[in-house]
Structure 1
Amino acid sequence: MTGSTAMPGAFTHPGRHRVAVLVRNGLLTMEFGIVHRLFGQARSADGTPLYEVVTCTTEPGALRTDADVTLHVAHGPEPLAEANTVIVPASDEDYDPRCGALSAPLAAAFTLIRPGTRIASICTGSFVLAAAGLLDGRRATTHWRSAEQFRRMYPRVDLDPDVLYTDEDGVLTAAGVASGIDLCLHMIRSDHGAAVANEVARGTVVSPHRDGGQAQFIRRPVPEPGISSTGRARAWALRHLDRPISLRELAEQESMSVRTFTRRFRDEVGVSPGRWLALQRVERARQLLEETDLPVDRIALDSGFGTAASLRQHLQAVLGVPPSTYRATFRGSAPRPAVPERAAEPCGGVPVSAPSR
């Protein structure tokens, strides 16, 4: 594998959001590819690339990977000083419990990162962010297999091993390898709205948003034969988001008791039915705010919140902004046609990395 042949230390498109991928020996190649693939596909309405991605390391040259290829990295750490976002993928060195502190070259590289730069890790790249002190007092995640080791090494971090990713004040962490996809889509969505992120997801042939957290991937006993899932209930709920939906109604779709349904739902999806339903309503509201001229009162009804006040409360809690601010940020000035009446569809955008406790 060969990196850029440009001279080290330079982004060539100053008008784009600059993403620096800081790689290390033992790089997990899938995570490296995720960042380039997803950010590289993000386009504006006129087809202009929205990001420039540059790979860098502490010392240019050949880099060992977890595959039978060697990555040649042309850039040293200099791009970190120009980056708007820095992403640290995992390395097989992260699994060595003796590596609890940054190496001198890596520590020096981190000093180049400007204050206010968004910094993210994928999988056990979170060990690097923790060693740099960036996660102290913050909520973070890592791969569930490494959670106990992480807790022992970095007790000042508020570790949540059940989620796919976290985002706290511009410092982000993703749980496992593929959850790097969820994290990158979340960052694209935060920067440019759900429409751009959903288009990237379609181009990558992945779901724009996965329900629940990594708790659903932790090894559990195999269910008894013949036990049904909760998929029918979720599909039914998405077709009826504009009306009140009770837990009993959801359970009836699967011919289960409320207690059994609630337990099965959490096992499969990773969050409670109520939390999942609220997030789907937020997603429907986001879609309508971005794609239509409908007034907020109507959007509140169509997404099942009932009142504009309830919609504002939920958007503020999940997205940190009211509906008017969200629409002004992510909806273009040119009018768009109203979305026709149809069944609501799950579309990306709500970070389930912050379930209610």
Structure 2
Amino acid sequence: MVAAHSSSQSSASSEWISCLDKRPAERSSEDVDIIFSWLKGLKAFEKFHPTLLYQICLYGYYENLEKGVTLFRQGDLGTSWYAVLAGSLDVKVSETANHQDAVVLCTLGIGTAFGESILDNTPRHATIVTREYSELLRIEQKDFKALWEKYRQYMAGHLVPPYGVMETTSSNDRIPEKEKVSSNALCSVSKNKVPSEKILRAAKVLRNVILSQAPHMIRDRKYHLKTYKQCCVGTELVDWMIQQTPCVHSRPQAVGMWQVLLEEGVMNHVDQEHSFQDKYLFYRFLDDEQEDVPPPTDEEKRECEEELQETMLLLSQIGPDAHMRMILRKQPGQRTVDDLEIIYEELLHIKALSRLSTTVKRELAGVLIFESHAKAGTVCK
């Protein structure tokens, strides 16, 4: 859907626009943070990887154009790449050198990116004219080329062929296999690990209270003609936990608390393929892995309900670390904007990094990888 934006609407965002109006070398880390916070909420950039979006904040410029302005003509050599923030633009093509006979081929709406022909200096394939008042983000050719060389794997999905078709490029252009980590790597931490007595008890408390209060949450479920025995849904578990205690303030916090159980192996994804996620994914308590497990007695249910708040407090204390480990085990290209914000917030509390700028810390948030080694004296290569 293409939405029209008036000049008065754009004035509400004057702070981030004034930051974009500065030359890149003049932008402070605070300016970049303001731009990033605004852009990540716009439809035009909702699918951009956070690392790429942050780089765009460093190099982009803001432009607003009235209706009927020609951005460039068919046959021109390009100097910039563009993304549509608001408004719409007509794409016109002509079979002759006379642009007066150009016909409208299509309309570019919010979220459209165009102008990637600057990568190989080919002439513009069409004339672009604003259909209404429009707001654009522009990146100059030299900066766009630098971004392409460094972040090609993130950018390809937002460009038209031939730049956007990763499958047809040379093997050097493809995302390395080491970045295509299967989800098994994210949950393998629980394998062969003996859970602590506290976490074993915590899992039993949560399971028995669920069976007492909401037994429908643990049941057989079908998906793609396959039946999964006695399992729960991730989103339902998050909903339930938030309702149980005031010490859980957000869904990400609840995700971290459930992740503690997965790390300890007292709860697992039904196919051992995922860490805990706030999605329609199936998880199963360790007690339900066995068949014909007797239901908890009324006395057991009562005891568990009495222990529930203490259990929640325990998990709320160790959940953030589990959540952080889960995020850091993801490959950088798989991290969300929220993931990067959580890592960044953690980096702010590390004294050894206190002298680093905000920009550097945000860069670190995008590339840090978590490793753990069970044996002392392990040499990392």
Tell me the TM-score normalized by structure 2: 0.27
Instruction: Name whichever structure is richer in helix by fraction.
Output: 2
Q: Larger C-alpha radius of gyration, 1 or 2?
A: 2
Tell me the TM-score normalized by structure 1: 0.28
